Amino acid sequence: MKHKHHIGRRVGAFSVQAYADGRTKTVTQQDILGKWSLFFFYPADFTFVCPTELKDLSEHYEEFQKEGCEIYSVSTDSEFVHKAWADASETIRGIRYPMLADTAWKLSKEFGVLEKESGQALRAAFIVNPEGVIKAYEIHDMGIGRNAQELLRVLRAAKFVEEHGDQVCPAKWQPGEETLMPSLDLVGML
């Protein structure tokens, strides 16, 4: 990998199978262009923390969709294992976003989250803009879960900056607080 971090890096070409809504299909790099994407890596199907996270994400799926963002969960399991998991678990059966089958480790390597010894992906989430460029991400060690609400906040912030630029200040309105002491600096302005 050329970069020490992933921000600003374009997601390379890929083509993987996916399980979505009871069916299998192919998802490629072309599918992520033109809208925002959340790549949500997790170690393996049929584990305990994963369904909790995937359910949390599923419960916020509509909000992500309203923001023009598709969610892709990714593990190194095949699409058939995803289906088996959905058949076995009511929670997983309720998921509407595509569950990508990264059996060849293409995406896990592309995003730099593959643990080679186990052949599993770390718990990681990547927010990718409509040009296929990574704008935000978090990578956790195996046991540390993520928060869909926080990912939604980051997505909205990324969209805001994309639309308006980064020259803004966060607003923490506190009516009635003391007027800020002035700071006059007119050097070079007259």
Active site residue 169: no
Lookup: tokens for 156: 């909205």
Lookup: tokens for 105: 């480790």
User: What residues does 27 pair with on adjacent strands?
Assistant: 16
Query: Which residues contact another protein by CB under 8 A?
Result: 160, 163-171, 173-177, 179-186, 189-190
Q: Which is nearer to another protein, 141 or 166 (CB)?
A: 166
Give 13's DSSP letter.
-
Distance CA 160, CA 148 (A): 18
Under 8 Å between Cβ of 139 and 123? yes
Q: Which is nearer to another protein, 49 or 161 (CB)?
A: 161
Under 8 Å between Cβ of 135 and 129? yes
Residue 134 CB, nearest approach to another protein (Å):
22
Q: Which is nearer to another protein, 80 or 160 (CB)?
A: 160
Lookup: tokens for 144: 């540390």
Q: Which is nearer to another protein, 56 or 63 (CB)?
A: 63
Residue 156 CB, nearest approach to another protein (Å):
10
Distance CA 107, CA 112 (A): 8
User: What residues does 128 pair with on adjacent strands?
Assistant: 37, 134
Q: Which one of 27, 32, 38, 50 is the catalytic residue?
A: 50
Residue 73 CB, nearest approach to another protein (Å):
30
Residue 35 CB, nearest approach to another protein (Å):
22
Residues with a catalytic annotation lie at: 50
